[in-house]
Amino acid sequence: MTEEHISHTDPRDARRSPRQDAGRTDDVDATIERILAADDAAPQSSRFVADPEFRLDGADRSEDVAPAEEADETRRGGILDGTARELADETRHTAADGAQHEVMERRSLRRVEGLSTELEDVTEVENRQLRLERVVLAGLWTDGPVAEAEHALRELSALAETAGSTVLDGFVQRRTHPDPGTFFGAGKAEEIRAAVAELGADTVIVDSELAPSQRRGLEDIVKVKVIDRTGLILDIFAQHAKSREGKAQVELAQLEYLLPRLRGWGESLSRQAGGQVGGGGGMGSRGPGETKIELDRRRIHARMARLRRQIAGMKPAREAKRANRRRNSVPSVAIAGYTNAGKSSLLNQLTDAGVMVENALFATLDPTVRKAQTPDGIAYTLSDTVGFVRQLPTQLVEAFRSTLEEVADSDLILHVVDASHPEPEGQIRAVREVLADVDAQQVPELVVLNKADVADWAVVERIRRREPNTVLVSAHSGMGLDELRERVSDSIPRPQTPMELLVPYVDGDVVSRLHGGDTEIHTIDYRAEGTRLSVKVRPELVADLEQYRVDAGSEHAAGAA
Ligand SMILES: Nc1nc2c(ncn2[C@@H]2O[C@H](COP(=O)(O)OP(=O)(O)OP(=O)(O)O)[C@@H](O)[C@H]2O)c(=O)[nH]1
Ligand SMILES: [Mg+2]
């Protein structure tokens, strides 16, 4: 550990004046930076230790937990084949993909592998991200078919690559319960360490949420940084958040995740600082009397409270818009679905939204609402939203609750499913769990099987048998989109009240109004005395149109005599 590193974690950083702190978003970042830096310091010294004794078949596994519980089924290689399935295809982009410059911009921010592996080097900006570079993945396979465990690891690989890292290898361990101390059994943990050393990896990503103690236990063995699935997803969200609201939501989720993990870090910090605890400065005299951990915790709590207020403050504007749509009875259709299913591509096809499409997970974080029309001219809103994922961190569901609640408030959910995935059932289940979590399960749902152009027909047939309400489309080839438009048209609340109208030509604006997207026009006829229409309207229009009402079949307006 260097001098510089110690001064980096100096609690004096925390003593900026409140004035300096006001409006700054990096005060807690600095705290977290210190926490993370201290946390990262431990395995630093022993990284990249080449182990000449390394053997893949690992002869001595006697320290492993009960052999029955931990069958020797660690799988290496083959599972990942270099890249994740989700990311393996050459990315094809169509004109409808939209916002490609944003993709380029994001790509240009990707880290260059091997440029900086020293944790002390990272700049403050980069510190928001996890600085993953060359990673080894590891997951626990507790039950179900092995294929599912491999899909899970492939997905973790896609997540890791989305976060900007290079995936070197992946392990799945069969084991009914995680080890309370090190998550994986001691033997497997050792095997992972050996692979890490052999491949020169600098991070291990575990496909679960680890208890802080398990994380430390595992780090002590593998000698490099260990990140869990939740930390990884939070990192991707942090990289992708663009709007003020999105950023605040992600930051809140990150702090929520960090808070319970502060204890371990705090302990190691106080150890470093010589274990100075207490000190009795008396009431009101913070500083020497307060341990750093208390201080950090207090600041994080304060920051979280501020973020919650901020997020709550942004709600009214959105709610006003939503109320406005309600008042005008504009039906709302929400696109939901697993990440990378093609939600944004579909929105771009159905409207001309120009929403960013990327073959990466969680390309969209900020909700987009666009106007769309049924083939017969009924207007509705179509909204794209954040993608879902298996084990979406609860901190994120909480932080994004206000965004997700809009889905619950819609008239129809287009549940987009990637039909080219070998097992979309798990993804469908994960999406429905989140929907249930935000009370959206009562909203009618149309399952949109997307990527028909590359789908496996056996998979499509399997899902169709199981799901009563599906439509098969390809946002790329355009296949099935007309049927989708019809199905949406049939599924949204339609104008119900039939009226026969004769509108004098002087009231031309009334006819324009009827063409505006909230009236179903059955017949329209231009007569000498005015425009004769047979329509269905929404209730709130009935009173305004009463003066033009005529009897069905009558040639004369009721009030025209
Ligand atoms: N072959 C094929 N690829 C598609 C189709 N629709 C979308 N894709 C591709 O799938 C990838 C993800 O598409 P997006 O529209 O960004 O997916 P998304 O659901 O919005 O993803 P997130 O915003 O990350 O949750 C992109 O590479 C698209 O080009 C399709 O019909 N066929
Ligand atoms: Mg998207």
The SS3 of residue 524 is: strand
The H or E element containing residue 139 is: strand 134-141
**Residue 354 DSSP class:** -
Whole-angstrom distance between the N-terminal and C-terminal Cα of the chain?
Answer: 97
Exposed (0-12), middle (13-18) or buried (19+): which is 129, by Cβ within 10 Å? middle
117 lines ligand 1 (CB under 6 A): no
Q: Quick one: tokens of 366?
A: 């900020």
Tell me, using a 6 A CB cutoff, whether residue 385 lines ligand 1: no
Q: Distances in Å between the alpha carbon of 104 and those of 100, 107, 273, 356?
A: 6, 5, 44, 10
- Joined tokens for residue 304: 């979280």
Architecture of domain 497-560: 2-Layer Sandwich (3.30)
Domain ranges of the chain: 1-45+241-321, 66-84+127-240, 329-491, 497-560
Whether domain 66-84+127-240 has CATH 3.40.190.10: the reply is no
Where do runs of H (alpha helix) occur along 377-456? 394-399, 401-408, 424-437
217 in Cβ contact with 181 (< 8 Å): yes
Helix (H) or strand (E) holding 472: strand 470-472
| pLDDT range class, residue 23, cuts 50, 70, 90 | very low
Closest atom, ligand 1, to C-alpha of 356: 16
Do residues 114 and 145 make contact, with C-beta atoms less than 8 angstroms apart?
no
ipTM for the whole complex: 0.98
Residue to probe by mutation, ligand 1, list 93, 357, 407, 414, most atoms within 8 Å of CB:
357
d(CA 429, CA 437): 12
Residues 6+ apart with CB under 8 A from 14: 30, 31, 292, 295, 296, 299
Dist. CA 15 → ligand 1 center (Å): 47
HEC assignment per residue over 77-138: CCCCCCCCHHHHCCCCCCHHHCCHHHHHHHHHCCCCCCCCCCHHHCCCCHHHCCCCCEEEEE
Mean pLDDT over each residue of the chain, to the nearest integer = 72
**526 CA from centroid of ligand 1 (Å):** 46
Residue ranges with strand state E in 156-290: 166-174, 203-206, 225-228
Quote the ligand 2 centre to 366 CA distance (angstroms): 9
d(CA 512, CA 525): 14
Return the pLDDT at 459: 93
Pairing of strands 445-450, 412-418: parallel
Å from CA of 360 to ligand 2 middle: 9
**Which ligand neighbours the alpha carbon of 368 most closely?**
2
Give the least confident one: 46-60, 155-169, 441-455: 46-60
Instruction: Verify whether ligand 1 is closer than 6 Å to residue 339 (CB atom).
Output: yes
Whether 497-560 and 329-491 are alike in CATH topology: the answer is no
Q: Among the bound ligands, name the one nearest to the CA of residue 345.
A: 1
Is the CB–ligand 1 distance for residue 102 below 6 Å? no
- The pLDDT tens digits of the residues spanning 388-408 come to 777 777 777 777 777 777 788
- The H-or-E segment that residue 213 falls in is helix 212-222
Residue 502's DSSP bridge partners are: 532
Q: What is the pLDDT of residue 32?
A: 54
Q: Under a CB-based contact definition with an 8 Å cutoff, are residues 440 and 421 in contact?
A: no
Q: Give exposure, 321-345, as e/b (b: 16+ Cβ within 10 Å).
A: ebeebeeeebbbbbbbbbbbbbbbb
DSSP 453: G
- Residue 340 Cβ inside 6 Å of ligand 1? The answer reads yes
Tally Cβ neighbours within 10 Å of residue 5. 15
Task: State the Cα–Cα distance between residues 449 and 434, nearest whole angstrom.
Answer: 19
- Ligand 2 center to residue 129 CA distance, Å? 21
Contacts of 82 (CB under 8 A, 6+ apart): none
**Residue 195 neighbours by CB distance under 10 Å:** 22
Distance CA 4, CA 419 (A): 52
Cα distances from 346 to residues 27, 109, 115, 288, 444, in angstroms, run: 40, 27, 38, 58, 19
Separation of alpha carbons 365 and 252, rounded Å? 15
Amino acid at 437: D
**Confidence grade of residue 134 (pLDDT, cut at 50, 70, 90):** confident
CB of 450 shorter than 6 A to ligand 1: yes
Read off the pLDDT band of 358 (50, 70, 90).
low
User: Which pLDDT does position 553 carry in this prediction?
Assistant: 61
CATH architecture of 329-491: 3-Layer(aba) Sandwich (3.40)
Q: What is the pLDDT of residues 452-503, one digit of tens each?
A: 999 999 999 999 999 999 999 999 999 999 999 999 999 998 888 999 999 9
In short, whether 162's Cβ falls inside 6 Å of ligand 1 is no
> What pLDDT, on the 0 to 100 scale, is given for residue 491?
93
Most distant CA pair in the chain, distance: 104
Closest ligand 1 atom, residue 473 Cα? 31
Is ligand 1 within 6 A of the CB of residue 153?
A: no
Q: What is the pTM of this model?
A: 0.68
